[in-house]
Amino acid sequence: MLHVPNRQVSPQANLLTVDSLCVSFGRDLPEGTAVRGVSFSLQAGRCLAIVGGSGSGKSVTSRAIVGLAGRRAHVHARQLTFAGTDLAALDDRSWRRVRGKEIGFVLQDALVALDPLRPVGKEIGEALRLHRAVASSEELERRVVALLELVGVPEAAVKARQLPHQLSGGQRQRALIAAALALDPRILIADEPTTALDVTVQAQVLGLLEETKLRGKALLLISHDLAVVSWIADEVLVMHEGKVVEHGSADQVFQDPQHTYTRQLLDAVPSARLRGSRPSRLPAARAWKPPLRSQEQSPSTFPSVVLSAANLVKRFKGPDGVLRTAVDGISFELRSGETLGVVGESGSGKSTMARLALALDPPDEGAVLFQGRAWTTLTERDRRARRRAISVIYQDPLNSFDPRWSVGHIISDSLASDVESRDERYERVVELLDLVGLSPALLDRRPLELSGGQRQRVAIARAIAPRSAVIVCDEPVSALDVLIQAQVLDLLTDLKAHLNMSYIFISHDLGVIRQLSDRVMVMRQGRVVETGTRDEIFLNPRTDYTQRLLAAVPSLARGGVANRSFSRV
């Protein structure tokens, strides 16, 4: 059991004061201003959530507070203080004494934040070692394992010895949270801390954050998940284009939003009621094919099986030398024009199953057929001619991009082979950027120059560029705010209808799965525990595990904060 010091703070104490914070980049300060006059205060034992669309200035605000806005950033504030200390006056050496010990920070992109060459246990233990919070290497190892267990990482002692790429996305995110909590800071700033987490671990982490609040700590939460915000926030600050457009109690903002933008955010939260109800918001999509069907296609009318798997098994050897089964006898069928939603906890084998379906990893047993022909049993040379017919949207897009390539190059390289002329390729790339809500101004940017949400949209544009028969979507909208998420889900729905595409859609967001899927497959510990139509799974789940997954989903009801319980699942 982890011993966390109980450093109680008076609930009335004003720990953080931000007054008229402005952050600009580049020489043209007015045009490059990302944050414009943001003001708020944060008290001990309270949670303030900052919400808003991609590019609204949420993450820049949080990074400016802890002195991590970047060397090109110009940060100005009338007041920026922590417990009476002027944060704007701190030098690098002083910041090292504050960050981690007094102010913890959970970065949004776990794969970028973690050193790819160091085991995650070394990363988590770094702050404990530097601040001399442990007396011996044995105590350090025990504390690291206890922190990983605290945030719900299975086999914590084994995972502590693994490199970041050997962990699932959710496990990497939990490792970052563990590192931020290591020194029990008085303020925890969490930038999208639950984005990569499945609903059961999300509930556990939210319970942990709630307990942190109850011990008198302050929490600044950056999130695009409004249901999560409604669970834990006391106050909500809504940002749009660098400015605060609404600020009030959580109950007031969710029950009686005053600003049009806030109402748009709430209306865009994915749910079953939105399925088939939105007209196409993307005029460019209509140029691809005739208008969208007025009637939804039921699963029984899907004519043919485009991808099928039979008894897939995949095993991996861990750092302890033990052989573990990641996928254990999975079989499924994906029909033409169908969306198969795949859900399950982090580490349940969802992404491994996707890699087997894509023939990126060979199965130890079983086989996959694509378009009625052998797929996984072929050599890569024999598969190459059919590769463009099956695309993928990765969970960590940055890891799948060549960092030297521009956005235009990345998308252009994936276009269908019938696009030959230079002008036509340029027009198609610009159209694809427009489809996913990105400006042509990003064409010459490199992946590292984009936000997490922008990178995810580039990955989606690249995947739909060749107009593949099947797209495997591994958490494709987890990094997107609700407005862009709604736009992308509409796009995927339109393209499925126009081009008869099929999707394997992996997501921990059950609201997204319910809105988009025709059939749902539930996975646990490498096995399929339940499969059925969308309504069968969500309205009449048969297994206890599926029932627990659904019970753990944070819900947001218009007119009130619906669910603020923190039962451990």
**pLDDT, tens digit, 9 for 90 and up, residues 354-400:** 999 999 999 999 999 999 999 999 999 999 989 989 999 987 787 78
**Pairing between β-strand 235-240 and β-strand 243-249 as defined by DSSP bridges:** antiparallel
Contact predicate 82/95, CB 8 Å = no
**pLDDT, tens digit, 9 for 90 and up, residues 472-514:** 999 888 777 888 888 888 888 888 887 789 999 999 888 889 9
525: left (phi over 0), alpha (psi -120 to 50) or beta: left
Which SS3 state, helix, strand or coil, does residue 269 take?
coil
What residues in the chain have per-residue pLDDT under 70?
Answer: 1-13, 26-32, 109-111, 196, 271-303, 416-419, 556-569
pLDDT at 7: 41
DSSP 124: H
Q: What superfamily would CATH give domain 13-102+188-267?
A: P-loop containing nucleotide triphosphate hydrolases (3.40.50.300)
- For residue 255, give both structure tokens: 């029950």
Distance CA 50, CA 60 (A): 11
pLDDT at 528: 97
pTM of the model: 0.75
pLDDT at 169: 73
pLDDT at 559: 39
pLDDT at 278: 53
pLDDT at 271: 61
Orientation of helix 169-181 relative to helix 120-130, angle to 10°: 10
pLDDT at 481: 81
Residue-wise DSSP of 511-558: HHHHHH-SEEEEEETTEEEEEEEHHHHHHS--SHHHHHHHHT----BT
User: In sequence order, what are the residues at sequence separation of 6 or more whose Cβ sits closer than 8 angstroms to the Cβ of residue 448?
Assistant: 398, 403
Q: How far is CA 414 from the centre of its chain?
A: 24
- For residue 239, give both structure tokens: 């940002």
Count the residues in the chain.
Answer: 569
341 φ, ψ to 5°? -80, 140
Residue-wise DSSP of 154-182: TTHHHHTTS-GGGS-HHHHHHHHHHHHHT
pLDDT at 302: 54
Distance CA 351, CA 169 (A): 10
Name the helix (H) or strand (E) containing 502.
strand 502-506
pLDDT at 287: 47
pLDDT at 279: 52
Residue-wise DSSP of 337-404: T-EEEEEE-TTSSHHHHHHHHTTSS--SEEEEEETTEE-TTS-HHHHGGGGGGEEEE-SSHHHHS-TT
- Which listed CATH number (1.10.8.100, 3.40.50.720, 3.40.50.300, 2.60.40.420) goes with 305-551? 3.40.50.300
Domain with CATH 3.40.50.300 in the chain: 13-102+188-267, 305-551
pLDDT at 292: 35
Contact predicate 118/160, CB 8 Å = no
Q: Is the dihedral of CA 111, 114, 120, 124 positive or negative?
A: negative
